[in-house]
Structure 1
């Protein structure tokens, strides 16, 4: 009997180890993601750091840089032209989301109001990815004077024209009023896809949106740490409303 329990314990440990390893190099099941990560000959612009091992294609990386990209028909300039210094951060955010193979520990199924999986265009999303303090702070600083009419860009838009427009009655305001703190921007704008942290780049405890590929991808070690130790306790997953009309959720 003791031998049997020992064998069962060993099998359980092997399964747990395999499960942890499986999230260290993976792509989420979403609209433009590859089935498995792998090298790309070249990725466009700010997506280039992931070219050696990416979940995006070169074509997707080009779409990430367009003001009104075919990727989701989403228009950054919904309240006037977004300043370039701000737009660079949203491009980098898109590159991380589309290209990174290191977000496995934070991938969740997208569920409707009653619990079913919403497979209209993606089955999975990221939730509470611990973003490095510098990345979030610099994002807010670059965008504080940009203008928007929505706090949560995942929902609430008027899509009747085929792209996102501000809903009737909404007011365009500077980011610094819509998102008073860097944490508000990083956590609220994409329905808690990111989590603001006080962790710093290079510490191995937070995901970097920006990195120099010449020094390797620091997010590999971060994903390994959280896969082994469990992702940080977080609020209940955001649930996509079954009646939501947004095309970009």
Structure 2
């Protein structure tokens, strides 16, 4: 007499297992091709044919507008009223990397696996530990090592009384190479661990490139997919069953 109920129960759990797998797949897909909820980001990525300068690689699919891409190239833009030359004029070869950093942050729809909630007045989400390619991080440091700054973390601690960022009174302007002794220090500390230094190389499919040749396609699409599929938290937790329709819950 217990045979049929046992077979029934096995079938029910098979259905639930399949649904759990679907939930896991949906969780992975949900972080692909998305824009974070932040100050200047679009709600959804899409084509932007007029993206400016270094932001142009994202023309085919972007989270930024043309206006935002123009602002990313200004020394003290309306985007955040942030002044690169807070100690002295930043060399062009160094500024190139900060413009590229801004374009990646504002325009990329491939940062979903690293988006986290943020408790700030100007954004609800932020990126954390985005794995930067070794060459991108090291060239950033090499081209900026002789530029000058007064702070290690550029996200906070500035004097904003003038309406733009100024060095705190207790700080001293020094070359980057003293404030950021290694490439990893620059890439990881300057934006509160938004980026993570890696030993992965450009083109490996395992690290995010700050710049790419649009004619050859966006390599960061595959990188985001790889990390989405290998996230430790991508599988639904046991409580995910609570998301099932009542008709299916009644089978338990």
Same-fold call, TM cutoff 0.5 = yes
What is the 5 A alignment of 1:46-65? Answer: 46-65=54-73
Counterpart residue number, 2:246: none
Q: Distance in 1 between matches of 2:50 and 2:78?
A: 20
Q: SS state of the match for residue 131, structure 2?
A: strand
Residue 231 of structure 1: how far off its partner (Å): 6.5
CA contact (8 A) 1:43 1:57 kept: yes
Specify the alignment match of 1:230 in structure 2.
231
| 1:105–1:231 contact (8 Å) kept in structure 2 | no
- What does 1:138-217 correspond to in 2, within 5 Å? 138-217=139-218
Runs of 4 or more above 4 Å deviation: none
Q: Deviations over 1:72-99 (max 9, x none)?
A: 0000000010000000000000000000
Quote the RMSD (CA, aligned, Å): 1.0
Of the candidates 32, 39, 42, which is equivalent to residue 34 of structure 1? 42
TM-score under structure 1 normalisation?
0.89
Q: Distance in 2 between matches of 1:12 and 1:164?
A: 49
Structure with the bigger percentage of helix: 2
**2:21 corresponding residue in structure 1:** 13
- Residue 91 to residue 196, structure 1, CA distance change in 2 (3 Å): same
**68, 81, 86: which one pairs with 1:78?**
86
Gaps of 5+ in 1: 112-117, 233-249
TM-score normalised per structure 2: 0.88
Q: In 2, distance between residues paired with 1:145 and 1:210? A: 22
Q: Please, which runs of 5 or more residues in structure 2 have no aligned partner? A: 1-8, 234-252
Q: What count of residue pairs does the alignment treat as equivalent? A: 225
Larger of the two Rg values belongs to structure: 2
Residues 106 and 231 of structure 1 are in contact (CA less than 8 Å); yes or no, is this contact kept in structure 2? no
Deviations 1:42-70 (A, max 9, x none): 10000000010000000000000000010
CA distance in 1, matches of 2:105, 2:131: 13
